[in-house]
Amino acid sequence: MDYVPEQSQASRVLGNDCPQHVANAIIALQAKHLHWESRTEMKLSREEVKHLALLVHLGLSDEEVERLREQLSNILENFEILQKVDTTDVEPTAHCIALENVLRDDVPAPSLPADRVLANAPNREEDYLKVRAVLEQ
C-alpha cells in the first residue's frame, strides 16, 4: 500500500512556502524509502536526493545536491525527534490559535455603470476591456 500524505501534514512540517508536490515527495520518501525503524541515522545519500529531485522534476547541480542532502537530512532528523513525542491526547489542528471567519455577508448591490468602471482603462472597446490575445486559435 502506498503512503499518500495529507496536504495539511506536508504544510505543517515544511511550511507554507514549500510547493505541495515537493512536500508530498519528501514525506513519501520519508515514509516509503527510508524505513524509519531500520535506519540509525537520518542522513540521506546523494542518490536519494537525486531520486527525490527526479520525482519533483528538479535539475540540480552537484553543489545543490550536496546542500539539499544536508538540509533534507536535517528535516528528516527533526521528523525522528517529532515521532518520539507522545501526542495521544493532542487534538489535531491546522492552526495554533482559533480562527473565525471575518468576511461580511454577501449582499447583492447594484453594479457600477460601465463608463465609470472603464474610465481609467488603458484600452477599451465599447463596454469591455480590450486586451491582447493570450490563447492561439
Ranges of each domain in the chain:
7-83
Quick one: which H or E segment has residue 8?
Answer: helix 7-14
Report the residue count for the chain: 137
Give pLDDT, residue 131: 87
Give pLDDT, residue 67: 93
Q: Residues near 33 by Cβ (< 8 Å), separated by ≥ 6?
A: 48, 51
Weakly modelled stretches of the chain, pLDDT under 70: 1-42, 136-137
Nearest to 42 by CA among 57, 58, 53, 29: 29
